[in-house]
Amino acid sequence: MKYVKQIHRGDLISNYLLTEFYDHIGYNEEVPYDIEIIHIGNGRADNEPIAISHLKEMIDELEQRGSTHVSVDYNCDHDEYELSGYSFEQLNAQELEAIENKKLTELEKIEKIRILERQIQEIKNGKS
C-alpha cells in the first residue's frame, strides 16, 4: 500500500458575493428590485456567482502558502465560497513506520478481542 500525506495549507473565505455581483451589474441599493436577472443557458450551478478575478486571487494566495490542490465549497447560509488548500507528499520512513506500527497494534487488539469473545462464548455455553 502506498501512503500519501494530504497537508492542509490554509482556508480562505470569499464573502460579499452578491455585493461584488451587484456592483458589477450596476445595482442601485436606493432603488431596490430595479434589476431582474434573466438566466440563459443550462448552467449547472445553483449558487451565487463569484468574480473570476477574485477566485484567481484566492487560488494565488493558497498557492503562495504551498498548496497544489484546492477544494471549493459554497456556504448558502452566509453567501460565501470556502476554499481549502492542500499539498500532497510521500511519507518519510519514520512516518511510514509509525503507521505500520499502529496498524499492527490495531490487528493485535482485534485478535485479542476475538479470543476474549470466544472465551466468553465458551463460558456461556458451559453454563447452559
As a whole number of angstroms, the distance between CA 122 and CA 128 comes to: 10
Is pLDDT of 128 > 70?
A: no
Pair (114, 84) in one structural domain: no
The CB-side HSE value for 70 (13 A sphere, CA atoms) comes to 21
Pair (9, 52) in one structural domain: yes
Q: What pLDDT does 26 receive?
A: 72
Q: What pLDDT does 78 receive?
A: 73
Pair (113, 82) in one structural domain: no
Pair (66, 27) in one structural domain: yes
Domains contained in the chain, number: 2
Answer left, alpha or beta for residue 17, where phi above 0 means left and psi between -120 and 50 means alpha. alpha
Give pLDDT tens digits for 5-46: 888 888 888 866 666 777 777 776 666 666 676 777 777 666
The C-alpha cell at 11 is 482556508
Map residue 9 onto helix, strand or coil: strand
Q: Which residues span the domain enclosing 77?
A: 4-90
| CB-CB contact of 54 with 83 (8 Å) | no
